[in-house]
Amino acid sequence: MDLTDAQRFAFDALDLIGAFAFAVSGALAAVRRGFDVVGIAMLACCTAFGGGIVRDVLIGAVPPAAFHDLRYLATALVAAALIILWHPPPRLAGAPLDAADAIGLGLYCVTGTVKALEYGLGPVPAALMGVATAVGGGMLRDLLTARTPSVLRRDSEIYLVPALVGASATSLVTVAGAYSWWTASLAGLGAIALRLLALRFHLRAPLARGGRDRTEG
Amino acid sequence: MDLTDAQRFAFDALDLIGAFAFAVSGALAAVRRGFDVVGIAMLACCTAFGGGIVRDVLIGAVPPAAFHDLRYLATALVAAALIILWHPPPRLAGAPLDAADAIGLGLYCVTGTVKALEYGLGPVPAALMGVATAVGGGMLRDLLTARTPSVLRRDSEIYLVPALVGASATSLVTVAGAYSWWTASLAGLGAIALRLLALRFHLRAPLARGGRDRTEG
Amino acid sequence: MDLTDAQRFAFDALDLIGAFAFAVSGALAAVRRGFDVVGIAMLACCTAFGGGIVRDVLIGAVPPAAFHDLRYLATALVAAALIILWHPPPRLAGAPLDAADAIGLGLYCVTGTVKALEYGLGPVPAALMGVATAVGGGMLRDLLTARTPSVLRRDSEIYLVPALVGASATSLVTVAGAYSWWTASLAGLGAIALRLLALRFHLRAPLARGGRDRTEG
């Protein structure tokens, strides 16, 4: 699949906005842990680039865009600088962090899927790659700040499902030849809305039988 | 090295059984930590695919099999579903988790080595790749559930050694032209038996001089 | 860019000394946590190879050198054996660990940059790749021993900056055609000196506004 110029512009715009959002979430997580300014910039970059680097390595698009397309580095560093200059008190950073993470999650599940399709993957593998792109950066951020990733925790609202819905929708519309600025944005906004609704109304996935009787052992 | 149809069948069977076993171990680890059903499915997939994805990326076999061969995803999701429907109480999940992990370890050290040889690596690098394949998924599972990986902990029975023995044996028989369903299974069963014996009889590697005088500092 | 024989020799020497230094730091970190001898060897290898494997995967140089060039494995295992036979008491391992880590950091930021340039990356992406090479192994070591990586912690002396300075200097001199044994060593020694000075005089990056009011939330 080859992208037209308009489709390429839509891809770049959504991917850079996603990188900005994830960089903000990484910078806020760093602020919450009291990291210094270098640690904040570093965690912003790891969060913004983590998912995309994993995707690019897995589809063979090396070196990854985050390394040779310097707009990504500039975007992440601007986000980190903004958070260094202005951020909520660390104990109130949770809500904006979750919101920024939701935006990154929604946009990356779209762009991850599109780039995988562009590199010749089938619709189902491409959607899986979109999910990996969407959750990869956040998982790295959580590992590096010693938190169990949201995508796994029982006390966290559904996280994987919005990414899966957005990636599947993107894969479907693209394979149907209807990929455009509007459909891509719609899929991304749908995934973001789903994640924000899950956060707002505390939608959680069910536990396995006996899951309540847990021991940390 | 090219595989015959029979050798390919043996490879696929052992690799899928290994994926199933690792998916079970990941799902049990998720149950033990009280993750919800999405978290269980996610951790089952990460554990089942982690080692193979690392191997495929390192030998240049991208996109990795776990993404384009959907039998792997189906296998991991079936394993997760079975554990969601039926599992021991979380505090008793340790022994079945260790057993499933031993099966995955033993089979992946064989298939990891064979695939690396197939991609043109020499016998020693291929055996190292087999070890990385065998221990990779379990390390990812342990990192994602905030445990120090078994392969490293002092209070854990030998883990790397069975993988190293199985991978070396596989590399030797394959280079000698004796790779077949039987020799591959034998190498895998040998590694599994070694790991289970280590667990049963608490075989541990020696500590370094002064290791007893540890501080966590 | 093609390396002459003399440049290749300089590259190999610096890269292997860096691998040795990182292996020592990994082995000492393992001793400090009371790992057994297999865990010590394993963590030495992960630390020594981590950054280089990440770099090689990202620039498409697969299988990574650490797998097919067995001098790296031999170097890491010799370092692990030396630390197993002789090491300070675990509670005093911090200072030699930091010194070994500084040497690895300084040399890997040089060799990482040079290898990326050799594979056709531009000067800025190559310097970023050098930084990723330099900090990758140490981050993996810290994750595997359940510590927040030094590159992120607020109470740690500047870590990323020496790597960035060394990688940028290497990129500049190489693009200017002045890459040689002497300039490469000088860039490496400069980065090492900067890191050791930071440790000695407790040079830390500033905190973000309000960073003092942190909660671990």
B105-135 pLDDT per residue, tens: 999 999 999 999 999 999 999 999 999 999 9
| Distance of alpha carbon C162 from alpha carbon B193, whole angstroms | 48
Greater confidence, C151 or C88?
C88
- In this prediction, residue A209 carries a pLDDT of 65
Cis peptide before C123 (omega within 30 of 0): no
Instruction: Read off the pLDDT band of A153 (50, 70, 90).
Output: confident
Picking from B181, B193, B195, the residue whose alpha carbon sits closest to that of residue B12 is B181
Q: Which two tokens stand for residue B150?
A: 């078994």
Q: Is B61 on the interface with C (CB under 8 A)?
A: no
Residues C125, A91: C-beta atoms closer than 8 Å: no
Q: Is A155 on the interface with C (CB under 8 A)?
A: no
Using an 8 Å CB-CB cutoff, list chain B residues near A150.
Answer: none
CB-CB contact of A153 with B40 (8 Å)? no
Residue B105 has, within 13 A of its CA and on its CB side, a CA count of 27
- In this prediction, residue A212 carries a pLDDT of 46
Q: Is A85 on the interface with C (CB under 8 A)?
A: yes
Amino acid at A116: A
CB-CB contact of A10 with A82 (8 Å)? no
- In this prediction, residue B213 carries a pLDDT of 43
Number of helices and strands (H, E) in chain A? 8, 0
- In this prediction, residue A207 carries a pLDDT of 82
CB-CB contact of C103 with C109 (8 Å)? no
Nearest beta carbon to residue B214 from set C34, C73, C86: C34
| Distance of alpha carbon A187 from alpha carbon B33, whole angstroms | 33
pLDDT at A210 over 70: no
Q: Which two tokens stand for residue C21?
A: 């230094």
Long-range CB pairs of C59-63 (<8 Å, 24+ gap) are: C59/A62, C59/A63, C59/C115, C59/C116, C59/C119, C59/C121, C59/C129, C60/A62, C60/A63, C60/C119, C61/C115, C61/C119, C62/B57, C62/B58, C62/B59, C62/B60, C63/B58, C63/B59, C63/B60, C63/B116, C63/B119, C63/B121, C63/B125, C63/B129
Phi first, then psi: what are they for B36, rounded to 5°?
A: -80, 180
Picking from A62, A158, A173, the residue whose alpha carbon sits closest to that of residue A113 is A173
pLDDT tens for each residue of B142-162: 988 878 787 777 767 889 999
pLDDT at C183 over 90: yes
Here the ipTM equals: 0.82
Greater confidence, C148 or B91?
B91
| Residue whose entry in the numeric block shows the structure tokens 């997939």 | B45
Render the burial of C66-92: b for 16+ CB within 10 Å, e for the rest.
Answer: bbbbeebbebbeebbbebbeebbebee
pLDDT tens for each residue of B97-107: 999 999 999 99
Residues B152, C86: C-beta atoms closer than 8 Å: no
| Distance of alpha carbon C135 from alpha carbon C109, whole angstroms | 8
Instruction: Read off the pLDDT band of A90 (50, 70, 90).
Output: confident
In chain B, what is the greatest distance between 2 CA atoms, to the nearest angstrom?
A: 55
pLDDT tens for each residue of C27-75: 999 999 889 999 999 999 999 999 999 899 999 998 999 988 999 999 9
Instruction: Read off the pLDDT band of C214 (50, 70, 90).
Output: very low
Instruction: Read off the pLDDT band of B169 (50, 70, 90).
Output: very high
Report CA-CA distances (Å) from B15 to B99, B171, C180, C186: 17, 16, 47, 49
Q: In Å, how far is B209's CA from the nearest CA of chain A?
A: 30
Residues C205, A39: C-beta atoms closer than 8 Å: yes
pLDDT tens for each residue of B41-72: 999 999 999 999 989 999 999 899 998 899 99
Please report all neighbours of B, defined by 3+ CB atom pairs within 8 A.
A, C
Residues A153, B62: C-beta atoms closer than 8 Å: no
